Structure 1
Amino acid sequence: MILTNGLRLTITFFEAKSKKGNTYQQFVQDIKETLDIQGDWSASNRDYLIKSRQALSASVWLKRYAESILKVEQGAENVEDIQ
């Protein structure tokens, strides 16, 4: 989604879909902490592109971590779905 829609729109979409304890909420929290993203989107285009690339790299890492260490299956909706 980041490649297609951009980082801002993807985070906004996930925030709209997030509920307490679901994977959308967890992803938004993890990406914001990993990239040190605050609520302010007024960064320059250069900074925004850097954050977007970092988000893509972090997303791949988080996916691999979830699949290998946490044994999360693709398509799991809730944190409770983790084995």
Structure 2
Amino acid sequence: MISSEKRYAQAAYSSMTDGFDPKDAAVFGTICHQFPSMVRLNGLRLTAIFYDAKASASDSSVRSKAYSRYCKYMEQALELQGVRLSEFVNSPACDSIRYRLLSRQALAASIWFKRYAEAILKVDAEAQEVDA
């Protein structure tokens, strides 16, 4: 059986190497660095909705693709099996106990995304841009 930490690490590593365009590394790395602080500040529900909205933007910009990639691999790490994170945290099946557990899991997974963004993409944590 695979441990949750190993699953998080595999999903994060895949997000960095699976057909990733290196010129977009700064954008994706910034998104990886922003997610945990946004979860701590706003909660998983609002952060998931925000990321999903950015991923579903009508333009096909680099930023929109980066948000989409992050959501896809975070959902993979959390084993949501094809259900979007924003839909899951807003579903009736996600009671407060499940929501808190999922929040802890998302924060644990996001650590791997940050680590790999620094190690593989060479994105500096201090050089984050603010995205509203």
Which bracket does the TM-score occupy, shorter chain normalised? 0.7 to 0.9
Higher relative contact order (CA 8 A, sep 6+): 2
User: Which deviations, in whole Å up to 9, do the C-alpha atoms of 1:11-65 show, x marking residues without a partner?
Assistant: 1101111255532222111111111232333212111101101111111111111
Amino acid at match of 1:61: W
Of Structure 1 and Structure 2, the greater helix share is in: 2
CA distance in 2, matches of 1:66, 1:26: 13
Matched, 1:64 2:119: no
CA distance in 2, matches of 1:4, 1:72: 22
Aligned sequence identity (%)? 39
- Structure 1 alignment gaps of length 5 or more: 77-83
CA distance in 2, matches of 1:54, 1:70: 23
Residue of structure 2 equivalent to 1:11: 48
CA distance in 2, matches of 1:47, 1:70: 33
TM-score by length of 1: 0.73
TM-score by length of 2: 0.49
CA distance in 2, matches of 1:4, 1:73: 21
- Structure 2 alignment gaps of length 5 or more: 1-37
Aligned residues: 76
Runs (4+) off by over 3 Å: 19-22, 72-76
Residue of structure 2 equivalent to 1:79: none
Amino acid at match of 2:107: L
